[in-house]
Amino acid sequence: MIRRSRTDRTPRVRPRTVLLTLAAGVALIAPTALVAPAANAAATTLGAAAAQSGRYFGAATSSFMFSNTQHTTILNREFNSIVAENEMKWDATEPQQNVFNFTGSDRLVAHARANGMSVRGHALVWHAQQPGWAQNLSGTALRNAMINHINRVAGHFRGQIHSWDVVNEAFADGGGGGRRDSNLQRTGNDWIEVAFRTARTADPNAKLCYNDYNTDGINAKSTGIYNMVRDFKSRGVPIDCVGFQSHLGTGLASDYQANLQRFADLGVDVQITELDVAQGSNQASIYERVTRACLAVARCNGITVWGVRDNDSWRRGENPLLFDANGNKKPAYNSVLNALNSVTPNPTNPPPTTTPPPPGNAACTASVSLNTWNGGFVATIRVTAGNAAIRGWTVRVTLPGGTAVTGTWNAQASGSTGTVNFSNVSYNGQLGAGGSTEFGFQGTGTAPSTTPTCTAT
């Protein structure tokens, strides 16, 4: 869903405004003795409390927010998973066709690695927030562009993402339970299947999720998705999880937990992916009941809230998050923490984490892909670590005579002509064994024809 732009903090116009306000009454699980990292002491942060049962508790954020000390202090202290609010979407990662920009999203992943957090990827394919060039495509051209986009983006983050929202919001609201009309849907009804199969090849180890809103109870829309997942599982289409956004008003569907469970019974994980709840007298109660519903479903991996503080939220006027605009914990925070602490720790089932690579010296390799035109080019270079982690890299590129570098992203260039050394920046130097990152540069003249060399530091 549209949150806000990557640089503008004002909310964007949303394509929908439907929020569920339904009867309360989801089943609760009985609390058990509080046990946590210290004997008989409850965990004191959301991430630590969720980790006791092998789950994550995450938040949506943006890399530009890392400069906000209060926001980042809470993020790093409380959460063990993060998701990009906007910086992994199509318009952010591929603003021009086959020209990719991972500046913000690489910073976010690097922040997660440095703080021991896992990362949810959001979202590879969506009918909204497509770049203008994709909006103008249709048919085979759009289908091929979608496949290329998934390959390049999921491939760029291969091995670094816990779960990908491969397809987002492809089902229509209303009583029919059918697909949403979109330029993607008009490429053929198999487009979702193609997207999942492509994502599996691009990143074989990431969990592949379908994600949608207004699916919190058993209704026509959630049943349409349920039937798709059941069909995919029966035919071997690679789908691992279903995301329930759970943008809630002042009520919660009485069959919320039962709905999660019926999807889990199909053999997929379920995740609460974008939780926020309109402020009211029952805000804390709804947050608690959602948390306990996830805890009661063995295949519910974790919960992500869509923002950290109320003033970070796309629903800012409704104060829907766990921390107020001053960074104070709200009653809803305490209700969630208490619910998470009510389960018996399970140390044999740790939550997904992304940890900093260990010290070591290793080789690296570099490969280049080119987009050329008369008089200029864009080069995208992938740096891949060898069989051990690296802490930094330098790629050497030899340019033909008369060629000059005019712009560089995700790297620092030593010059603009002749032999140019491109070195990592602060957020993309550390790579685990076999891990990769990309940088790029634009030039005038003839594109380089020799293979770049990579040196690990």
As annotated, the active-site residues are 274
Task: Check if the beta carbon of residue 355 is closer than 8 Å to that of residue 116.
Answer: yes
H or E segment and range at residue 455: strand 453-456
Q: What does the alpha-carbon distance between residue 303 and residue 58 come to, in Å, rounded to a whole number?
A: 6
d(CA 370, CA 378): 6
The 3 state secondary structure assigned to 278-312 is: CCCCCHHHHHHHHHHHHHHCCCEEEEEECCCEHHH
* CA contacts within 13 A on the Cβ side of 13: 1
Name all contacts of 286-289 with Cβ < 8 Å and 24+ positions apart. 286/24, 286/248, 286/250, 286/251, 286/252, 287/322, 287/332, 287/335, 287/336, 288/332, 288/335, 288/336, 288/338, 288/339, 289/24, 289/26, 289/28, 289/252, 289/256
State the Cα–Cα distance between residues 94 and 330, nearest whole angstrom: 38
Are the beta carbons of 196 and 152 closer than 8 angstroms? Answer: no
Tell me which DSSP letter residue 185 carries: G
Q: Are 145 and 137 in contact (CB under 8 A)?
A: yes
What is the DSSP track for 84-127? ESSTTSHHHH-SBTTB---HHHHHHHHHHHHTT-EEEEEEEEES
Burial class from Cβ neighbours inside 10 Å (0-12, 13-18, 19+) for residue 130 reads buried
> Does 385 sit behind a cis peptide bond, omega within 30 degrees of 0 on the bond before it?
no
- Nearest Cα neighbor of 419 from 384, 439, 437, 395 is 395
Closest CA to 183 of 229, 254, 130: 130
Closest alpha carbon to 54 in 274, 295, 377, 327 = 295
Burial of 281 from C-beta contacts in 10 A (0-12 / 13-18 / 19+) = exposed
Q: How many angstroms separate the CA atoms of 241 and 271, rounded?
A: 7
